[in-house]
Chains A and B, each alone.
Chain A
Amino acid sequence: MKKIETELSYFPGCSLATTAKENNSSLKSFLNYFSIQLTEVEDWNCCGSSSAHSINSKLALSLAARNLFLAPYGKPLLVSCPACFIRLGQAQMEMNESKETQKEYERQFERPYNTDIKLLHFFELLVTMRENGFFKNLTGRLNGLKIAPYYGCMLAKPPRMAKGENHYGLIEKTMSSLGCESLQWPFLYTCCGTFLSVSRPKIAENLVNKIIQGAIQSGAECIVTACAMCHLNLEIRCLPENRLPIFHFSELLSLALEGKASKDWFKRHLINPEPLLKKRRLDIYR
């Protein structure tokens, strides 16, 4: 069993800092309840998102690398956005494979490179918390809420990065132990369309509505995602008949800590989840 580190540095990423503030805030609040403190990386920048690696690989590496240079020594770096995690992870791999690249960036950023920064995926942290029995007293708290667990592409990694542990089934396991009914449905790993929702909205719209329809037909009352991009796309591109509430994983985790969730998070949703929370008697806010 791994020991829990209670002091982590934290890379929120652009989505959590802006459009998905409720994701950021619920994540922090949830970890804070278990005395896990997050310190945001000072002056972090965008990981490069989908666009940098799409049209300029060097820039993708440079943007991600700057964050690795800013991360403080000695603390694991928690990355909550799955896309940022891959960008930073890939940059770390490239840096660690080449002394030449390390030197190039050491000159650029005028500081030494730390090869040992441990990038911590939110899922990995959650597994360790589970193993350490953090959720023992929370059994059944979520009152039979029927969820469609949605990973999108977050568990898919480039082959070079895919050698480590994977976390298939983590949302189901965690949510079931907290009292949700986790349903079987076809689109768990279907990509949400990411930036195509802006540049080719029709493609994203078809995709999103297929995904949500799948959840509705499986009998789900809501979809649970651990990715802020997926959350946004599902909410903005769904048709009126498919307005199923979408929760950030961290919001539901927080709802299991009775009275610790904030009503403000749910007010930011484009699809109002409050009637559902009321129906399941989960509308206990702080």
Chain B
Amino acid sequence: MKIIKTGRMDREFIDQVEKMSRSNLSVCWNCMACSGGCIFSEDMDYLPNRIVRMIQFGLKKKVLESSTIWLCVGCNNCAMECPNSLDMGAIMDALRQIALAENAKIAEPEILFFHNAVLDSIFRHGRTHKFEVMMRYKWAKKDMLSDVGLGLKMIPKGKLGFFPSRVKDRKTLRSLFQMKERFHEKN
């Protein structure tokens, strides 16, 4: 059993997570329904309910450096299980964004790299271009071989188009990348 030494309560961190996720962490009973409903929990370093408890116990660094916050794909099955309707998906969104803003050590750099590649594709085309995202990802990871067989099957089926589907008004689209969240400005 992994025993965690609790820290001093970090009200500022709790407030920040609650504000960004528009949730009230105090409603959590730690009943583990969320973790039971999470298909990814076996791959996570801390179960989702534990993350909530760790936030409450002031273990900010551990939370922000956990793999859990990156392995959560936001499928919302945890929220459906939660007797108190805690929006765990939104809490994980908030934690990832705090981790990025505070330059925390990222436990799953591949996942972050993927998200950035998708956003970059949206910036360029207005839509996600799967072929480009896959290629960039593979190139950056120096892993051009693992899915070659798969790629060769997908291309003739038209599942990986070479040319992106594009938005015409890319100027407006790109301007959206400059917009800032208001609560970031205030803090």
A45 and B167 contact, CB distance less than 8 A: yes
Partner of B74, one of A50, A152, A160, A189: A50
A59 and B73 contact, CB distance less than 8 A: no
B134 and A195 contact, CB distance less than 8 A: no
Partner of A156, one of B80, B108, B111, B157: B80
Contacts A21-B158, A156-B80; A55 near B97 (Cβ below 8 A): yes
B111 and A158 contact, CB distance less than 8 A: no
Partner of B169, one of A43, A59, A236, A269: A43
Partner of B111, one of A56, A160, A199, A269: A199
B181 at the interface (CB under 8 A from A): yes
B93 and A57 contact, CB distance less than 8 A: yes
Residues of the A chain whose Cβ atoms lie less than 8 Å from the Cβ of B86: 159
B87 and A158 contact, CB distance less than 8 A: yes
Q: Which of B2-10, B47-55, B124-132 contacts A (4 or more CB under 8 A)?
A: B124-132
B167 and A18 contact, CB distance less than 8 A: no
Give chain A's interface secondary structure class.
Answer: helix
B75 and A156 contact, CB distance less than 8 A: yes
Residues of the A chain whose Cβ atoms lie less than 8 Å from the Cβ of B133: 198
Shortest CB-to-CB span from A49 to chain B, Å, is 6
Within 8 A of B (CB), among A49-65: 49-59, 62-63
Closest A residue to B80 by CB, please name it.
A156
Partner of B97, one of A18, A56, A269: A56
B90 and A158 contact, CB distance less than 8 A: yes
B39 at the interface (CB under 8 A from A): yes
With A and B bound together, what is the CA distance between A55 and B109 in angstroms? Answer: 13
Shortest CB-to-CB span from A203 to chain B, Å, is 5
B172 at the interface (CB under 8 A from A): yes
Partner of B71, one of A56, A62, A160, A200: A200
Residues of the B chain whose Cβ atoms lie less than 8 Å from the Cβ of A158: 76, 79, 87, 89-90
Give chain B's interface secondary structure class.
Answer: helix
Kindly supply a per-residue 1/0 record for chain B positions 123-145, scoring 1 wherever the CB is within 8 Å of any chain A CB and 0 otherwise.
00011111001100100000000
Residues of the A chain whose Cβ atoms lie less than 8 Å from the Cβ of B175: 108
A45 and B157 contact, CB distance less than 8 A: no
Partner of B173, one of A45, A189, A191: A45
Residues of the B chain whose Cβ atoms lie less than 8 Å from the Cβ of A21: 158
B114 and A51 contact, CB distance less than 8 A: yes
Shortest CB-to-CB span from B103 to chain A, Å, is 14
With A and B bound together, what is the CA distance between A41 and B93 in angstroms? Answer: 28
Shortest CB-to-CB span from B4 to chain A, Å, is 24
A57 and B181 contact, CB distance less than 8 A: yes
Residues of the A chain whose Cβ atoms lie less than 8 Å from the Cβ of B184: 58
A194 at the interface (CB under 8 A from B): yes
Residues of the A chain whose Cβ atoms lie less than 8 Å from the Cβ of B22: 160
Shortest CB-to-CB span from A125 to chain B, Å, is 22
A51 and B173 contact, CB distance less than 8 A: no
Partner of A267, one of B118, B119, B157: B157
Residues of the B chain whose Cβ atoms lie less than 8 Å from the Cβ of A189: 77
Residues of the B chain whose Cβ atoms lie less than 8 Å from the Cβ of A157: 76, 79-80
A66 and B173 contact, CB distance less than 8 A: yes
B114 and A198 contact, CB distance less than 8 A: yes
Closest B residue to A199 by CB, please name it.
B114
Contacts A55-B119, A57-B20, A200-B111; A156 near B79 (Cβ below 8 A): yes
**Which residues of B are at the interface with A, using a C-beta cutoff of 8 A?**
20, 22, 39-40, 43, 71, 73-77, 79-80, 82, 85-87, 89-90, 93-94, 96-97, 100, 108, 110-116, 118-119, 122, 126-130, 133-134, 137, 146-147, 150, 153-154, 157-161, 165, 167-169, 172-173, 175-177, 179-181, 184
Apart from the given pairs A51-B115, A160-B22, 7 other A-B contacts in the complex at a CB distance below 8 Å: A43-B168, A55-B115, A59-B179, A157-B80, A159-B79, A189-B77, A195-B118
